[in-house]
Amino acid sequence: MAKQKICVLFGGVSSEHEVSLMSAASVIRNIPADRYEVIPVGITKKGRWLYYPGPVANLADGSWEQYPDCVPAFISPDATDRGIVKCVDGAFTLQKVDAVFPVLHGKGGEDGTVQGLLELAGIPYVGCGVLSSALCMDKAAANLVMDAAGIDRCEWDYMTRAELPGFDAVADRLERRLGWPIFVKPANAGSSVGISKAHDRRELLDAVHLALAHDTRIVFERFVTGQEVECAVMGNDGPQGTLPGEILASQEFYTYDDKYLAGTSRVVIPAQLAPEKLEEVRVTAVRAYRTLCCTGLARVDFFVEAGTGRVLLNEINTMPGFTDISMYPKLMLHAGMTYGGLLDRLIQLAFERKETANG
């Protein structure tokens, strides 16, 4: 049987560009080569799309962009093309693809934008669709839906940039509803960027300005003390969750450096919880996944609060990190799935989802 052509998208304009490069290198190295042919297309930080036929080793340090055989390329939105268009010496050529694996984190990749393009293109793709990607990316929208579905989370609130002139009233409300310290997050950012913890009003205003540099809307949360646990969920109509794992952060909270650069966080699988708590996390993760219409995969993150033992949902990541130190592949490995087997299954789920959508 001919190999299926999988276009792997990597890089992107978001603050998680570098993480995507690392995730994509792992994905490309581990896709079962006997069944799939990878067509790598990178997106620079400026948003330029390039077909990249060079070695995987050039991804992580960003040197792939200078590779002499890179050519401009893009996914055609024309549903009769079903492929990528390459521009070689001023001429356009069409390369058909069977599926796309958008290994992109954050804005312009994990937020429904690329997914919308792929819907127009009529090409099956790995992961969540437009609605779930967009909802999960926006912390305010996701929290509102979770509240409506009765999925427990910590007390929270939000404001828009337009409310800044009346900030004193907002601060009064937050102090009353959340208490100190208050966690401040841009509604859309990703990977701990623009996030901070405020202990008083002065710090709160600084935190608001920092968050506003990343988005026009901000989410505030009560600071939760407890364990940070994560569950890997996979599937379309009948999603399954793994045993949760736990993050042992080295800093006060799980920062971007912790996650990807310093390698200082440790992961424990399963999380250090009683069996019934592990089960509660797993069942809630699947419920949240279904509530936000996820398909393919997602990593669902929680806090288990110290003292009360409450399982509080934090967020859903529709394209979780896929590097070798990432939680999602580690949880799946613990559940008995190899990295190659995991990629194979995710691609098959993309095809299955497309068939159901057409049927």
Ligand X SMILES: Nc1ncnc2c1ncn2[C@@H]1O[C@H](COP(=O)(O)OP(=O)(O)O)[C@@H](O)[C@H]1O
Residue ranges in contact with ligand X by CB under 6 A: 154, 183, 185, 190-192, 195, 221, 223-224, 228, 249, 253-254, 301, 314-315
Residues annotated catalytic, as ranges? 16, 191, 326
Tell me the residue number closest to ligand X, measured at CB: 254
The residue whose two tokens read 């949360």 is 221
- Closer Cβ to ligand X, 78 or 152, answer by number: 152
Binding site as annotated, residues for ATP: 139, 183-185, 191-192, 221-228, 314-315
Residue list, annotated binding site:
139, 183-185, 191-192, 221-228, 301, 314-315, 317
Q: 279 or 305, CB closer to ligand X?
A: 305
> For 166, which DSSP code?
G
Min dist. Cβ of residue 285 to ligand X (A): 14
What minimum distance in Å lies between the beta carbon of 291 and ligand X?
A: 18
Q: Which residues of 150-176 are buried (b: 16+ CB within 10 A; e: fewer)?
A: ebebbebbbbeeeeeeeeeebbeebee
Neighbour-count burial of 135, counting CB atoms closer than 10 A to its CB (0-12 exposed, 13-18 middle, 19+ buried): buried
Give the contacts of 279 (CB within 8 A, at least 6 positions apart).
none
The minimum distance between CB 149 and ligand X, in angstroms, equals 18
Rounded alpha-carbon distances, angstroms, from residue 122 to 80, 92, 117, 349, 353: 8, 20, 9, 15, 12
Give residue for tokens 């194979």. 344
Binding-site residues for Mg(2+) sit at 301, 315, 317
Report, in Å, the least distance between residue 101 CB and ligand X.
21
Do strands 49-51 and 182-186 pair parallel, antiparallel, or not at all (unpaired)?
A: unpaired
Closest CB to ligand X among residues 195, 347: 195
Least CB distance to ligand X at residue 215 (A): 12
The rounded distance, in Å, linking the Cα atoms of 275 and 280 is 9
Residue 215 vs 315, nearer CB to ligand X = 315
**Beta bridge mates, 10:** 42
Q: Which is nearer to ligand X, 257 or 352 (CB)?
A: 257
CB burial of residue 28 (10 Å; 0-12, 13-18, 19+): buried
